Amino acid sequence: MGALHEGHLTLMRAAKEATDFVIASVFVNPTQFGPNEDFDAYPRRFEEDCRKLESVGVDAVFHPQAADMYPQGFCTYVNVDGDITHKLCGAQRPIHFRGVATVVTKLFNITQADEAFFGQKDAQQVVVVCRFVQDMNLPVHINMVPIVREESGLARSSRNVYLSPEEKTAALVLSRSLRLAKDAYEKGERNAAVLKALVTKEIAGEPLAAIDYVDLFSFPALEAIETVDEKSLLALAVRIGKTRLIDNIILG
């Protein structure tokens, strides 16, 4: 969606290393925003984005207008109608993943990409994309690239530009709380409720933070678990002021 940061550029470098022609799509996709979300406010910095993409050797940029992607009469949506879209971010953003699945299907068909690169920051999105790629038999291979963080620990996000200096400090509670859970996991804690409680308690200590969700699911199936004895996703969404931020870690 543009407003590119080091997280995106890491995706581009991974793509550059794995393939011989890299296309970046820069498109703030209207169909994945709900009516009261930040579609209009979402940062748009196309010229700066192009300079960054060029600096990492991206071969082409696909930057359509909304009317190119959704012309008059457009009415087809790809709907991933399973549990994986109803929990975590899907619970608060009911049409979000329909918009993601629809636009990503279009991007795959337009570019005919063989390999596609998505960030772990949107881990649920990766799960959803893998699901519809498999269900629709799309001939593309999905690669997940680890989260890129600032030195402070804050996960890189285009939405970080919304944060005031005070909020940016408060936002450190996301990664700090995940690190606490990770430390506990590494010391042997396997109880999902205990790990979630560690995170919740840490965030509750930050007055500017309001929890949207803190949850722990098997990964990539996103099934409820009581004990972390397989690969699992500890994910959270937290509002810092008016800005909704997400972060996660994979355990196991």
Residues at the binding site are 1-8, 32, 119-122, 125, 148, 156-159
Instruction: State which of residues 14, 28, 84, 113 lies at the interface with its own copies (CB under 8 A).
Output: 84
Nearest residue (CB) to its own copies, 110 versus 211: 110
CB-based contact 212:237 (threshold 8 Å):
yes
For position 80 contacting its own copies by CB under 8 A, the verdict is yes
CA-to-CA distance for 122 and 66, rounded, in angstroms? 23
Rg (CA), the chain: 18
Write down the residue that tokens 């099934």 correspond to: 223
CA-to-CA distance for 93 and 97, rounded, in angstroms? 8
The CB-of-69 to its own copies minimum distance in angstroms stands at 9
# binding residues, its own copies (CB under 8 A) = 24
For position 106 contacting its own copies by CB under 8 A, the verdict is yes
Report the amino acid identity of residue 72.
Answer: Q
- Kindly report whether the peptide bond that precedes residue 71 is cis, defined as omega within 30 degrees of 0: no
Q: What DSSP element (H or E) covers 248?
A: strand 243-251
The CB-of-142 to its own copies minimum distance in angstroms stands at 14
The tokens for 210 are 């309001």
Interface of this chain with its own copies, residues 121 to 150, rule: CB under 8 A = 131-132, 135-139
Instruction: State which of residues 74, 114, 194, 197 lies at the interface with its own copies (CB under 8 A).
Output: 74
Mind telling me the catalytic residues?
A: 8
Which residues of this chain interact with its own copies, rule CB under 8 A? 73-82, 84, 101, 105-106, 109-110, 112, 131-132, 135-139
